[in-house]
Structure 1
Amino acid sequence: MNADGDVVLSNMETKLPLLDMPSTHTILTQYALLKFDGADVSAFLQSQFSSDIKTLDETNAQWSSYSNAKGRMQASFLLWRRGESFFLMLRRDIADGFRRRLAMFVMRSKVVITVLEQALLLGQYHAQGGADVSPCQHGTAAGMRIDVGRISIHCVLDDEALPVLEGNLIASQAFDLYFIDAALPWISAACYEAFVPQMTNLDLIGGISFRKGCYPGQEIVARTQYLGKVKRRMFIVEASGAECPIGADIRADVTGEQAIGKVMLSVAIAPGQYRALAVMQIAAWEGQPYVDLQPPLLLSRRDMPYLIPELQSE
């Protein structure tokens, strides 16, 4: 591990051909786990998040998000329930700020928010399995497992519940490739307040409820859904170049000089070659979108595992 506790393997690009591996696993050091408890926890979370918390039980999980009053996402996450407790997995670099933000609104509600520093999050990729991104839950309270298509996320709270994982151990950052291929959005500090939830396709993977009550940013989210057309979406892209940093601006000549998107997640799949999630204006594909670097990083679009409605007329 490096100084940040991240699993790093030497010469990963040449020794571990990620695209050809039948199965892999890693320690998800780039992600953190929060736990929510208390008599008022269900009602509190329902009033804060974009998904419908009331539909959670011990067999499923949800993609969800938290936004500011202008509908701009401050966090996206995987959420599940076990007994009377709720668990939330998100990117580590926003975890503490997110906890402090929610704590501001607890006030007199009986809610306790804890960052589970001792919890172990493991990622496992299976060569076999479907592409459905609807999460389901298995395991025990000491060793919970969330399955999302070919990805399994193990949440270990007790050493006795450690799973036996098959396949190659890979670097923590490299495992993001499988989140990219499943087109699953993760907000990090580099993309803080950059997107409205629909831009990250949360409405397409069950992360937004349009029937529940109010939550921060709900008016903007509803207006985008019912009164306007979603002009930006999240795409799987590839590019060749020296780097493809998360948070980098995306531009296209056809859409003018203004930045029309950002790189959300990026992984090197070979020396000088990247696969990424890019949130950007759909109209940019009428020309050649590029990451605004020197030299520009030209983007090519890859197939998505689920349909984007605005593209169905193509």
Structure 2
Amino acid sequence: MPTPLCPAELLFIAGADAGSFAHSQFTSDVNSLATGRWQWSAWLDPQGRARHFFALLRPELSRMLVWLPLGNAQAMRAELGRFVMRSRVQLDAQSWTMHALDPGDSPPVLEANELLPREAGFMLRQPGPIERTMWLAPAAASAFDEDRLEHWRLDDVAAGLPWINEALAGQFVPQALDMERLDAIRFDKGCYPGQEIAARLHFRGGNKRHLRHIHIDGTAPASSTLVTGIDGQLLGHILYAANCRSAEGSNALAVLTDVAEENTGSLLVGDARARLHSGSMTS
């Protein structure tokens, strides 16, 4: 049986102008997104910082779903609604359930960005160190498998998926979240909020914060926890973390300043020692 992991926050964008509206607001090339496919994307503020990072699903030509793993769909609906104006678009926030599909569930072999219907929901493959297929289902679950979710988040960390929660919204430019690696941003498409600033950083440089995979000698800290040097200097923030399966400690994704590279073995997350992970991200 599919394993329910957690609620799935979704924002529905529907209507004749759904595609053009999303293309004008989000960082990815929405016009190239075919029906039955999905892509990584983000919505920036006017200062070029990410308000939300998400998977954008297109089950139909005039209907799209924004999946926000750590986000707040209701808040995004309210924020994005201010830009609808005369566009023929309806926005609706819903809470579904995210499931993990095990080999015993006979999940189909999906292409990297393929979207497959299942019982009024959708299946999609996720990157990571192992094959992972998830199912977003509209029915609410009565209970969740917290241990399995912890393992799933570990694989999210390994894949370098830069989930941001409400506390970190509007804090990081796309370069600090390594969005280009995931093909979640285009600089050669039409204008979208924050595009000019993001493009200037891309072409001229100047970004001093980067997405890093770190190991912490302690239990998984909360999202937005500070990362410092042993001298107390602020070096960055934890995006999210998960406890390791078979070893002590936890792994996390963090946005760190360039100075953190000079303090590789002497980082602190709260009172716990931390160090940069030597392996590359798997996505």
Q: How does the TM-score come out when normalised to structure 1? A: 0.76
Which of 264, 275, 286 is 2:251 aligned to?
Answer: 275
Cα distance in 2 for partners of 1:140, 1:241 equals 39
Which of 121, 127, 148 is 2:126 aligned to?
Answer: 148
CA RMSD after TM alignment: 3.0
Q: Give the drift of 1:232.
A: 2.0
Cα distance in 1 for partners of 2:173, 2:7 equals 23
Q: Aligned residues, how many?
A: 269
Which of 166, 169, 189 is 1:192 aligned to?
Answer: 169
Cα distance in 1 for partners of 2:159, 2:85 equals 38
Q: Give the drift of 1:158.
A: 7.2
Asked if 1:52 is matched to 2:29, the reply is yes
Q: Give the drift of 1:296.
A: 4.5
Which of 107, 110, 115 is 2:85 aligned to?
Answer: 107
CA distances 1:186-214 after superposition (whole Å, capped 9, x unpaired): 11123222211111111111000111111
Asked if 1:232 is matched to 2:218, the reply is no
Q: Give the drift of 1:242.
A: 4.9
Cα distance in 1 for partners of 2:205, 2:3 equals 41
SS at match of 1:203: helix
Name structure 2 gaps, 5 residues minimum: 104-110
The residue type paired with residue 202 of structure 1 is: M
| Aligned pairs for 1:67-216 within 5 A | 67-83=44-60, 84-91=62-69, 93-117=71-95, 119-124=96-101, 134-139=112-117, 142-149=120-127, 150-157=131-138, 170-216=147-193
Residues 243 and 172 of structure 1: CA distance in aligned 2, closer, same or farther (over 3 Å): closer
The residue type paired with residue 163 of structure 2 is: W
Large movers: runs of 4+ above 6 Å: none
Cα distance in 1 for partners of 2:184, 2:157 equals 17
Residues 169 and 96 of structure 1: CA distance in aligned 2, closer, same or farther (over 3 Å): closer
Cα distance in 1 for partners of 2:281, 2:72 equals 27
CA distances 1:232-274 after superposition (whole Å, capped 9, x unpaired): 2212211112552210122236xx8652321001011258611
Cα distance in 2 for partners of 1:141, 1:125 equals 17
Residues 189 and 105 of structure 1: CA distance in aligned 2, closer, same or farther (over 3 Å): same
SS at match of 1:102: helix
Partner of 1:33: 10
Q: Give the drift of 1:42.
A: 1.1
Residues 88 and 141 of structure 1: CA distance in aligned 2, closer, same or farther (over 3 Å): farther
Residues 268 and 259 of structure 1: CA distance in aligned 2, closer, same or farther (over 3 Å): same
SS at match of 1:277: strand
SS at match of 2:28: coil
Assess if the C-alpha contact under 8 Å between 1:26 and 1:175 holds in 2: no
Assess if the C-alpha contact under 8 Å between 1:64 and 1:78 holds in 2: yes
Residues 106 and 175 of structure 1: CA distance in aligned 2, closer, same or farther (over 3 Å): same
Name structure 1 gaps, 5 residues minimum: 1-23, 127-132, 160-167, 308-314
Q: How does the TM-score come out when normalised to structure 2? A: 0.83
CA distances 1:71-111 after superposition (whole Å, capped 9, x unpaired): 11111000110112101100354221111100111122111
Residues 242 and 179 of structure 1: CA distance in aligned 2, closer, same or farther (over 3 Å): closer
Cα distance in 1 for partners of 2:268, 2:185 equals 29
Cα distance in 1 for partners of 2:97, 2:217 equals 34
SS at match of 1:106: coil
CA distances 1:126-171 after superposition (whole Å, capped 9, x unpaired): 7xxxxxx953322358232111232222122479xxxxxxxx9844
The residue type paired with residue 95 of structure 1 is: A
Assess if the C-alpha contact under 8 Å between 1:196 and 1:221 holds in 2: yes
Assess if the C-alpha contact under 8 Å between 1:290 and 1:297 holds in 2: yes
